[in-house]
């Protein structure tokens, strides 16, 4: 995949997205998203929970934008954490929109990620932060992510 906003010679747009925002009726959101995904032959996985939405979808540029427009129209989802890529073929075999208790399993029922989020740290501030001997960094990358990048 290529991490670009504009399409090279690839026909399939991939969008990875998430947003922590309250969803009153996750089942209704699931049904609406499944319908728009099916209509555009979009593939991937979307997780819907009372705390928000998380997933990765792929399809034609127009079909992916139709799904994102549906999400953006939902109260609290006017903005998303969103990354795009392009590829030659659909990377997913089917579309799954699932209702879950949490979009990111934390096992902490009293935790509200929409209210208790961390803060963005600029690269300059990050370097100063990790240079402090009192700072503890917990690396949560999986094996693949660890192989492609390292902290210096």
So what's the pLDDT on residue 1? 43
Structurally, how many domains does the chain consist of?
A: 1
On whether residue 4 sits in a domain, the answer given is: no
CATH number, domain containing residue 59 = 3.30.70.100
Residue 6 counted as domain residue: no
- Position 119 in a domain: no
* Global pTM exceeds 0.75: no
Convert the pLDDT of each residue in 35-70 to its tens digit. Answer: 999 999 999 999 999 999 999 999 999 999 999 999
Residue range 77-103, pLDDT digits in tens = 999 989 999 999 999 999 999 999 888
> Is residue 53 within 8 Å of residue 47, measured between CB atoms?
yes
Asked if the structure places residue 124 within a domain, the reply is no
Token pair 């990050």: residue = 126
Confidence of residue 136 (pLDDT cuts 50, 70, 90): confident
Residue 91 lies in a domain: yes
């Amino acid at each position: 995949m290529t991490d670009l906003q504009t399409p090279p010679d690839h026909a399939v747009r991939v969008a990875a997205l998430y947003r922590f925002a309250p969803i009153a009726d996750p089942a209704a959101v699931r049904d609406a998203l499944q319908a728009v995904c099916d209509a555009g032959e979009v593939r991937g996985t979307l997780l819907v929970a009372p705390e928000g939405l998380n997933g990765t979808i792929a399809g034609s540029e127009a079909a992916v934008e139709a799904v994102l427009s549906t999400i953006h129209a939902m109260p609290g989802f006017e903005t998303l954490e969103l990354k795009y890529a392009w590829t030659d073929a659909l990377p997913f075999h089917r579309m799954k929109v699932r209702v879950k208790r949490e979009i990111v399993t934390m096992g902490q029922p009293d935790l509200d990620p929409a209210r208790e989020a961390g803060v963005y740290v600029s690269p300059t501030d990050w370097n100063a932060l990790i240079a402090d001997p009192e700072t503890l960094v917990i690396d949560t990358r999986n094996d693949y992510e660890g192989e492609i990048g390292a902290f210096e």
